[in-house]
Structure 1
Amino acid sequence: MTQLTQRYAKILGTGSYLPANKVTNAQITERLAKDGVETSDEWIFSRSGISARHFAAADQLTSDLALEASKKAIEAAGITANDIDLIILATSTPDNLGGFPSTACVLQDKLGITNQCAAFDVQAVCSGFAYSLAVADSFIRSGMYQKVLIVGAETFSRILDFKDRGTCVLFGDGAGAVVVGASDEPGILAAAMHADGSHREILCVPGRTEHGALEGSAFLKMDGQAVFKLAVKVLEQVAQEVLTAAKLTPADIDWLIPHQANIRIMEGTAKKLGIALDHVVVTVQDHGNTSAASIPLALDTAIRAGQIKRGQHLLMEGVGGGFTWAAAVVKY
């Protein structure tokens, strides 16, 4: 009797990209002062842990950022672009206002992929990468796809209200990419996704088109206190869920890689899980909140810095508008 081999989705390579325009707290404070909005480096850093963020150039689209991160991930995986048979791109800031063609399809063309692989976008805001990782895992385990390019890419600077210091100082632009492939070695051990639309008002872009005119605001709006309270709660819950599914405990985790939203949320989550802060990958100080790009950006940064090594257990989790949240446990 032939014994079937367990099929896993394993991370083969990672990549990331940040726009050249790095904006420090001092620079954004100066910009806001011109509109009569008072803030300071100390005010921003003490509330968020952010010192700087990157903004895309006027001629850079989300797909351009995704392209640079993807090329690095494909190179790190040791494959060619035409080896990819599925592209999943997580973003809340697509190239096109109506959302189509998908930014994933634009990325496919920019990568020069000619094999007509499937490509689609995922919209789960800051949970987008974690959602995409779970989707890719299911596709690979089913045998439907062999090599999947997952990208989180955002140009959030385009939807910020620079008269609202509670939001505009927090977000940045960037992209992170991961190639996952079918393997008989353990890779993604467990993943989970959740949403609760009853909380949609606390983090959203409320504008909509009615009869050809914009109704409401085209800028991001957030109830910071409500988001903080809910985020810490659901991040602990989904972390415990995937750890149980993977038959692991927090003590087995070498690195927690949370969505880089706010240092206080990350510290609160780590404390609830009993994971020491020196086992948490933190890049929010340099990147700001890059939404769907934040987890793969942090992952790639830590891998290239030599922090994360093969064989280690990683816990990745995100939470975002919707309200959405998701997590995955990975053996890297």
Structure 2
Amino acid sequence: MFHLPIRLAGLGRYLPERIVPNSEVEARCHLPAGWIEARTGVRERRWVTNESNAFMAAQAARGALTQAGLSLTDLDLIINASGTQAQAIPDGAALLQAELGLGGSGLPCFSLHATCLSFIAALEVAAGLLGTGRYQRILIVSAEIASCGLNFAEPESAALLGDGAAAAVVTRAGEGQSSAFHALRLETYS
């Protein structure tokens, strides 16, 4: 276990407007009514209509910055922790930077892709970077459009996944401030 002396200064989220009820997914998966909720507890999910990863990520980022009482110019680094990418080049981090209006700013940004674990991995990387003292305020954003790759022949996953974005402004925990994280353990099994 690794102790993370960091705190979440602000959180944000974005959910697409389109609500997809279980009945729609059950019909596409050829499942009986009530199958999804009985097995997963999920009643609905959100799917994009025209939103991009970068748009959703930017909306979540703005919410996190507002909650933290910060502006875009207060950031030292952006980590795009999304498992689903819009394209290979330019990278999703650069697309997010542009969507935020920071394209010409030179603000460092990069993507960390570890599928479902991307956000957790980004927290560990952010903790290390904050620990060096080089960075003070790091924005981590994860925007996912899982609906574009759902396999309705596999209802176990198709029933669970939706689209959306989450963001966190992460800072080092100062003297006397408690950390939001007591420990982190990132494990992968293949």
Same fold by TM (over 0.5)? yes
Cα shift at 1:156: 0.4
Does the 8 Å contact 1:25/1:40 carry over to 2?
no
Gaps of 5+ in 2: none
Distance of 2:106 and 2:7 partners within structure 1:
23
Distance of 2:9 and 2:155 partners within structure 1:
40
Letter in 2 for 1:135: V
Equivalence for 1:79: 70
Structure 1 length-normalised TM: 0.52
Match of 2:16 among 12, 16, 19: 19
Alignment of 1:118-157 (within 5 A): 118-157=108-147
Q: Deviations over 1:167-189 (max 9, x none)?
A: 22221001000001234123244
Paired positions, count: 183
Equivalence for 1:166: 156
Gaps of 5+ in 1: 1-6, 200-332
| More strand as a share of residues | 1
Equivalence for 1:192: 185
Letter in 2 for 1:136: A
Alignment of 1:218-229 (within 5 A): none
Structure 2 length-normalised TM: 0.89
Does the 8 Å contact 2:144/2:165 carry over to 1?
yes
Distance of 2:93 and 2:141 partners within structure 1:
9
* Higher normalized contact order (CA 8 Å, seq sep 6+, divided by chain length): 2
Does the 8 Å contact 1:134/1:192 carry over to 2?
no
Q: Which runs of 4+ in 1 moved over 4 A?
A: none
The answer as to 2:15 corresponding to 1:47 is no
Letter in 2 for 1:27: E
Letter in 2 for 1:138: G
Does the 8 Å contact 1:146/1:182 carry over to 2?
yes
Cα shift at 1:55: 0.4
Equivalence for 2:59: 68
Cα shift at 1:27: 2.4
Q: Deviations over 1:46-80 (max 9, x none)?
A: 211111000011x3211111111111001111011
Query: Secondary structure at 2:186's aligned position in 1?
Result: strand
Query: Secondary structure at 2:90's aligned position in 1?
Result: coil
RMSD: 1.8
| More helix as a share of residues | 1
- Once structures 1 and 2 are overlaid, which stretch shifts more, 165-174 or 146-155? 165-174
Does the 8 Å contact 1:11/1:179 carry over to 2?
yes
Alignment of 1:281-320 (within 5 A): none
Equivalence for 1:251: none
Q: Deviations over 1:248-286 (max 9, x none)?
A: xxxxxxxxxxxxxxxxxxxxxxxxxxxxxxxxxxxxxxx
Match of 2:84 among 87, 93, 108: 93
Equivalence for 1:108: 97
Give the percent of matched residue pairs that are identical in Structure 1 and Structure 2.
31
Letter in 1 for 2:167: A
Larger Rg: 1
Cα shift at 1:95: 1.3
1:12 to 1:161, Cα distance in 2 relative to 1, 3 A: same
Cα shift at 1:149: 0.3
Does the 8 Å contact 1:15/1:72 carry over to 2?
yes
Query: Secondary structure at 2:31's aligned position in 1?
Result: coil
Does the 8 Å contact 2:13/2:61 carry over to 1?
yes
Distance of 1:64 and 1:116 partners within structure 2:
20
